[in-house]
């Protein structure tokens, strides 16, 4: 924000689209890192930067980008996200006027949209805060737990069962890393394509506990190349979660619509409404759309 004042530069939607475009480039320029894409890890950064919100106290959330500071950057749940923060830092150097909170959340939007997901409404307005704004550890979900824990964590942010199940569909993307969470492997066969395969696979495959030295996780009996966390599998076991998971397995359009709404809400958690520049969120264009 101080940069904005210093240069008297008031960015427009077109300026944010330039940042979006640069994010899209950088996400793709990943060499042999994880299927050649930083998209999934950048999406996870946006989620972990926002998912610390507590509606009872109004603390946490995406406003202050406090994951820049220790100890939050070192919280167990954030292991590996330095990769995403470093990728984002390159862009921050080029567009110094954008706040980290806006940059990270816009990157989450770009990751979803560029990996063929739904359009996600987004608007700028987050400001860079201080270490004193940092949330305590333990606000993000623990993958070894069951339905009560998932509800505790997401109800605290202000989400309901339908939104919880929709948000979990992000696990169509990316993978677990043994040196980060201890878990291992991808959820789907196309970890850089946003699809509803996560739900389809949950119901269509037979899931068995993997026999290994790592934390308890499931593997698909047929190929043994996919994984589910205990918290993923719960979506097929809990009656209320299951209803939505089944609906998303059967209807990709419904999943896209509901994911977009819940994810847009997630990205705005903890940001006072008056800070938002626009009264309505924007739809940023994909790189492909700008070509035609």
Residues that bind ligand DDH (CB under 6 A): 40-41, 43-44, 47, 80, 141, 143, 150, 167-168, 170-171, 173-177, 180-181, 183, 229, 231, 263
Query: Which of residues 4 and 200 has its CB atom nearest to ligand DDH in the complex?
Result: 200
Instruction: Give the shortest CB-13-to-ligand DDH separation in angstroms.
Output: 24
d(CA 259, CA 120): 9
**Degrees, nearest 5: CA angle 71-158-274:** 80
Tell me whether residue 209 is one of the annotated catalytic residues.
no
Query: Which of residues 64 and 259 has its CB atom nearest to ligand DDH in the complex?
Result: 259
Instruction: Give the shortest CB-274-to-ligand DDH separation in angstroms.
Output: 26
Query: Which of residues 15 and 160 has its CB atom nearest to ligand DDH in the complex?
Result: 160
Minimal CB distance to ligand DDH: which residue? Answer: 174
Instruction: Give the shortest CB-1-to-ligand DDH separation in angstroms.
Output: 26
Query: Which of residues 65 and 176 has its CB atom nearest to ligand DDH in the complex?
Result: 176
d(CA 18, CA 14): 6
Residue 242: phi, psi to the nearest 5? Answer: -60, -40
Q: Give long-range contacts, CB 8 A cutoff, 24+ apart: 174-180.
A: 174/34, 174/39, 174/40, 174/41, 174/43, 174/44, 175/34, 175/40, 176/217, 176/227, 176/229, 177/80, 178/214, 179/79, 179/80, 180/79, 180/80
Tell me whether residue 187 is one of the annotated catalytic residues.
yes
Of 47, 104, 122, 187, the active-site residue reads 187
Of 48, 75, 133, 171, the active-site residue reads 48
Which runs of E-coded beta strand occur in the chain? 175-176, 185-186, 207-209, 218-220, 227-228
Query: Which of residues 42 and 95 has its CB atom nearest to ligand DDH in the complex?
Result: 42
The single residue listed with the structure tokens 């696979």 is 201
Determine contact, residues 231/12, Cβ cutoff 8 Å: no
Instruction: Give the shortest CB-229-to-ligand DDH separation in angstroms.
Output: 6
Instruction: Give the shortest CB-205-to-ligand DDH separation in angstroms.
Output: 19
Under 8 Å CB-to-CB from 69, ≥6 apart: which residues?
Answer: 130, 131, 134
Active site residues: 48, 187
């Amino acid at each position: 924000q101080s940069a904005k004042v210093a240069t008297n530069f008031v960015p427009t939607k077109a300026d944010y689209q330039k940042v979006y475009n640069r994010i899209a480039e950088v996400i793709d320029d990943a060499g042999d890192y994880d299927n050649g894409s930083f998209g999934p890890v950048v999406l996870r950064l946006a989620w972990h930067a926002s998912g610390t919100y507590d509606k009872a106290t109004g603390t946490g959330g995406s406003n202050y980008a406090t994951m820049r500071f220790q100890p939050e950057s070192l919280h167990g749940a954030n292991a590996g996200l330095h990769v995403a923060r470093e990728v984002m830092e390159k862009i921050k150097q080029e567009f110094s006027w954008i706040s980290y909170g806006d940059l990270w959340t816009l990157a989450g939007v770009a990751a979803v949209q560029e990996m063929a997901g739904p359009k996600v409404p987004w608007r700028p307005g987050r400001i860079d805060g201080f270490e004193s704004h940092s949330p305590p550890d333990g606000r993000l979900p623990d993958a070894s737990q069951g339905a009560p824990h998932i509800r505790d964590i997401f109800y605290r942010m202000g989400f309901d069962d339908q939104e919880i199940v929709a948000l979990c569909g992000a696990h169509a993307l990316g993978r677990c890393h043994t040196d980060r969470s201890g878990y291992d492997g991808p959820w789907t066969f196309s970890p850089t394509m946003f699809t509803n395969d996560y739900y389809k696979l949950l119901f269509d495959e037979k899931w068995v506990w993997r026999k290994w030295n790592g934390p308890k996780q499931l593997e698909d009996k047929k190929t043994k190349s996919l994984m589910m966390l205990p918290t993923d599998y719960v979506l097929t076991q809990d009656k209320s979660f299951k209803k939505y998971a089944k609906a998303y397995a059967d209807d990709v359009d419904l999943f896209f619509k509901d994911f977009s709404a819940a994810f847009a809400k997630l990205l705005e958690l903890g940001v006072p409404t008056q800070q938002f520049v626009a009264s309505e969120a924007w739809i940023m264009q994909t790189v492909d759309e700008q070509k035609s």
